[in-house]
Structure 1
């Protein structure tokens, strides 16, 4: 299984990675600090799941999600953001993401997400 983690914060990337590794085994992880970098990695690696922040340089999370959906309409994406505005959540959900996860990403959220990923 391949998982892409996209966040311009190295700390946030490491936190998500560390928590997912606790509950998921035999996973290849890829990280990106911008939407542009993430799109290139997505094209090369075709990850099974992506975790995407919304506020990033070069390309927003919304733009990245739209671009990924053009490549693979069935892509499985979780959005992680501190932006909890109703309009933002509605916009993101309209793009066809699995779930909107409020930051910070913690042990409980990691357990829920990993249960979903495992099926």
Structure 2
């Protein structure tokens, strides 16, 4: 399975990667530092899942999700963000994301992601 993590924080990328690897044996994690790089990598590697932070330079998460969904309406996206406003959550849910997860990402939230992905595979 291929997972693309798009987050401008290298600390968040490392924490998310480590926690996800605790639950998945065979996973290839690709990192991108902003939405522009994230979209480029999405089109190149066609990951199974994407984790998107909303607050990033260049192209933010909102713009990235819109681009990805226009490119691939079946894209499986998790939003992992510190922006927890209800209006933002509703806007993201309109894009049919898998889940909106509040930062900080932790073991409990990684287990939630694992359960959602496991459910997709059945």
Q: TM-score, normalised by structure 1?
A: 0.98
Could you tell me how far 1:68 is from its partner in structure 2? 0.4
Answer yes or no: is 1:71 the counterpart of 2:76: no
Structure 1 equivalent of residue 104 of structure 2 = 104
Structure 2 equivalent of residue 45 of structure 1 = 45
Answer yes or no: is 1:94 the counterpart of 2:94: yes
Could you tell me how far 1:116 is from its partner in structure 2? 1.4
Unaligned ranges ≥5, structure 2: none
Query: Aligned-pair RMSD on alpha carbons?
Result: 0.6
Could you tell me how far 1:74 is from its partner in structure 2? 0.5
Measured against aligned partners, the alpha-carbon deviations of 1:29-71 in whole angstroms (never above 9, x if no partner) come to 1000100000000000000000000000110101000100011
Answer yes or no: is 1:26 the counterpart of 2:26: yes
- How many residue pairs get aligned? The number is 119
Unaligned ranges ≥5, structure 1: none
Q: TM-score, normalised by structure 2?
A: 0.95
Secondary structure of the residue aligned to 1:40 is: helix
CA distance in 1, matches of 2:39, 2:27: 20
Could you tell me how far 1:117 is from its partner in structure 2? 1.1
Secondary structure of the residue aligned to 2:39 is: helix
